[in-house]
Amino acid sequence: MRTIQSYFLLMILFSLAAKARAENPAINGEPLIRPNGSIVFLVQGEFRPSVDSARDSALHTAQEKMRDWLSRQDPAIRRAPSMETIRREMKPHEFTLQEEQILNQQDRMYRMMIEVEMQPKHVRALRESERVTLGLWTLGGILGILAVIAALFFVDEWTKGYLTRWLIAGGLMLFIGLAVLWWWGK
C-alpha cells in the first residue's frame, strides 16, 4: 500500500515539474513557444563590472541563443536580429540582477537575467531578408556571367579568332566554377 502511495506521489510530482517546465523556459536553454507563435528566450549574461555592461552581456547572449534557434529551423535562417532590433522591438524584460563582491575589494560584479520575446513578424522579416540577399547574389552572379561572356566575345573579336578555342574552354571552366560556388554558398 505504501509503495502505491509513493508511486502516485512521484507521478504527481513529475507531472507538476513537467507543467512548470512547459510554462517557463529554462535559463539559457530551449525557448518557450507560446500559442500565439511568439518565442520566449530566458537568458542570463556573464558577470560584468557595471549594470549596463551586464545588460549588454545578457542581450548578446540572447542574440546568440536566437541565432542558434533560428539555425535549427527548417529551412534554416542564418541571420539573427540585430542588437538594435532586440532593444527597440523585442523589449527585453529584466528579471533579476545578481550582484557579487570581489574578494577583499570594494568592487562589485553584476549579472543580469532577461526575457526576450521574438514575435512571428520578426521571424518573417528575417526569412524575407535572407531571401532578398539570396536573390541579389543570384542576380549578381548572372550579371557577372553575362559580363564575362561579353568580355570573351570582345577578346575573340580583338584577336580575330586566334584564341577562340581557349576562350571557349576558359569560359566553360569559369561558368562551372561559378555554378559550384553558387551551389556551395547556398
Q: Are residue 24 and residue 110 in the same domain, yes or no?
A: yes
Tens of each residue's pLDDT in the chain, 186 residues: 566 665 555 555 555 544 444 455 566 678 888 888 888 888 888 888 888 888 889 889 989 999 999 998 888 888 888 888 888 877 777 777 777 777 767 778 888 888 888 888 888 999 999 899 989 988 988 898 888 888 878 887 888 878 788 878 887 888 888 788 878 876
Distances (CA, A) of 163 to 12, 154, 169: 83, 11, 10
The amino acid present at 67, given as its one-letter code, is R
Q: What is the pLDDT of residue 28?
A: 66
Q: What is the pLDDT of residue 20?
A: 44
Q: Are residue 84 and residue 144 in the same domain, yes or no?
A: no
HEC secondary structure over 113-153: EEEEEECHHHHHHHHHHHHHHHHHHHHHHHHHHHHHHHHHH
Q: Are 79 and 100 in contact (CB under 8 A)?
A: no
Residue 32 lies in a domain: yes
Q: Are 45 and 116 in contact (CB under 8 A)?
A: no
Termini Cα distance of the chain: 63
Q: Are 149 and 97 in contact (CB under 8 A)?
A: no
Q: Are 81 and 66 in contact (CB under 8 A)?
A: yes
- Partner residues linked to 39 by β-bridges: 33, 118
pTM of the model: 0.66
How buried is 23 (Cβ within 10 angstroms: 0-12 exposed, 13-18 middle, 19+ buried)?
Answer: exposed
- The secondary structure of residue 48, as a DSSP letter, is B
Its domain, for residue 180, covers 129-185
Q: What is the pLDDT of residue 25?
A: 55
Q: What is the pLDDT of residue 24?
A: 54
66: cell is 536566437
184: cell is 556551395
Q: What is the pLDDT of residue 151?
A: 84
Q: What is the pLDDT of residue 19?
A: 47
Number of domains in the chain: 2
Q: Are residue 9 and residue 99 in the same domain, yes or no?
A: yes
Q: What is the pLDDT of residue 22?
A: 44
Q: Are 95 and 113 in contact (CB under 8 A)?
A: yes
Q: What is the pLDDT of residue 18?
A: 47
Q: Are residue 74 and residue 159 in the same domain, yes or no?
A: no
Q: What is the pLDDT of residue 136?
A: 92
Q: Are residue 141 and residue 161 in the same domain, yes or no?
A: yes
Q: Are 77 and 70 in contact (CB under 8 A)?
A: yes
